[in-house]
Amino acid sequence: MANPILTNLDNGVFTITFNRPDKKNAISNEMYEMMTAGLQEAAGEKQARVVLFNANGDDFTSGNDLKDFAAVNRGELALDALPVVKFIESMLAFEKPVVAAVKGLAVGIGTTMLFHCDAVIGGASASFHLPFAQLGLVPEFACSQLLPAAAGKVRATHILMLGEPFGCDEAVRMGMVSRPCADEDVDKEAIKVSRQIAAMPPATMREVKRLINPPAFKQQLVETVRRESGVFARSLQSEEHREALSAFFEKRRPDFSRFE
């Protein structure tokens, strides 16, 4: 089987590539562990000036692999053992610039992680989707704080309650995508921007990132993530989530009519 996460260091750009195109780059627990290891490697490698997240195939990522969530719901996997938690912590603590190249699907954490990037190149086909409520879950990665700040309280609540996808144009208006372009130019443009950042004074780049994300703000994000994680953990073992998972795997609409 092909490695689901590829890493490469070239000209100061440390690339972390989703490489599971046959599954629309759905992120498994193994992939989260590899992504966290990649960030840790990039943090300790002096030649790595910037991290670029990109993907093979037509989609950035379809989000979490729901089979792993099903294991938690059945009690086969401890909540505190979820590798996604370590990845979120690693992203929040990462001090070097981060760029993302997005086209096609960007579902769940495929969208929320973009709020923690420093430049996002978005293709015309990019579709951002936060279907947490549809799965009987709640937002993660400080999305409950960052999305209202970007989109406004009412629009953010609408998106999070109904899980309606939105396109690249709206993501640009929210400030989630810093440079839109045609799909065929996404990877080329992302490499160009990453190399431009890598060529800049590295200490200055880190200081710019710290000024935009001062300690008090980062602490707010950490606290928000903790609040979200507590509710998310309970949601993963809820009957509502169990019904949503069953409906997903049975290819039917979930029925929440019996819940209060």
What pLDDT, on a 0 to 100 scale, did the predictor assign at position 72? 73
- Give the largest CA-CA distance in the chain: 59
Q: Which regions of 114-165 does DSSP assign to beta strands (E)?
A: 119-123, 127-129
Token pair in block for residue 111:
């969208």
**Mean pLDDT throughout 206-222?**
97
What pLDDT, on a 0 to 100 scale, did the predictor assign at position 19? 98
In sign, the C-alpha dihedral spanning 173, 146, 118, 110 is negative
**Mean pLDDT throughout 2-28?**
97
pLDDT tens per residue across span 40-81: 999 999 999 999 999 999 999 999 999 887 777 676 666 666
Query: Nearest to residue 196, comparing CAs of 181, 179, 184?
Result: 179
Residue-averaged pLDDT of the chain: 95
The percent of residues above 90 in pLDDT, for the chain, comes to 90
pLDDT tens per residue across span 96-118: 999 999 999 999 999 999 999 99
What pLDDT, on a 0 to 100 scale, did the predictor assign at position 233? 87
What pLDDT, on a 0 to 100 scale, did the predictor assign at position 82? 79
- Gap between the terminal Cα atoms of the chain: 44
Which element (helix H / strand E) includes 156?
helix 153-162
What pLDDT, on a 0 to 100 scale, did the predictor assign at position 48? 98
What pLDDT, on a 0 to 100 scale, did the predictor assign at position 211? 98
Token pair in block for residue 10:
């070239």
Q: Which regions of the chain does DSSP assign to beta strands (E)?
A: 5-10, 13-18, 50-55, 98-102, 105-107, 119-123, 127-129, 166-167, 179-181
What pLDDT, on a 0 to 100 scale, did the predictor assign at position 76? 62
Token pair 């994000």 is at which residue? Answer: 221
Cα distance between residue 99 and residue 229, in whole Å: 25
- Least reliable range by pLDDT among 36-45, 65-74, 184-193, 209-218: 65-74
- Least reliable range by pLDDT among 89-98, 149-158, 160-169, 227-236: 227-236
Cα distance between residue 39 and residue 37, in whole Å: 5
Query: Nearest to residue 101, comparing CAs of 185, 219, 157, 22?
Result: 185
Question: Pairing relation of β-strands 98-102 and 13-18?
Answer: unpaired
Using CB atoms within 10 Å of the CB of residue 226, give its burial: 0 to 12 exposed, 13 to 18 middle, 19+ buried: exposed
What pLDDT, on a 0 to 100 scale, did the predictor assign at position 250? 95
Cα distance between residue 240 and residue 222, in whole Å: 27
What pLDDT, on a 0 to 100 scale, did the predictor assign at position 143? 98
Please tell us whether the domain made up of 5-185+199-208 is placed in CATH 3.90.226.10.
yes
CB 36: neighbour CB atoms within 10 A?
19
What pLDDT, on a 0 to 100 scale, did the predictor assign at position 207? 98
CB 174 within 8 A of CB 150: yes
User: Which residues contact residue 4 at a Cβ distance below 8 angstroms, ignoring those fewer than 6 apart?
Assistant: 18, 19, 20, 28, 30, 31, 34
What pLDDT, on a 0 to 100 scale, did the predictor assign at position 97? 98
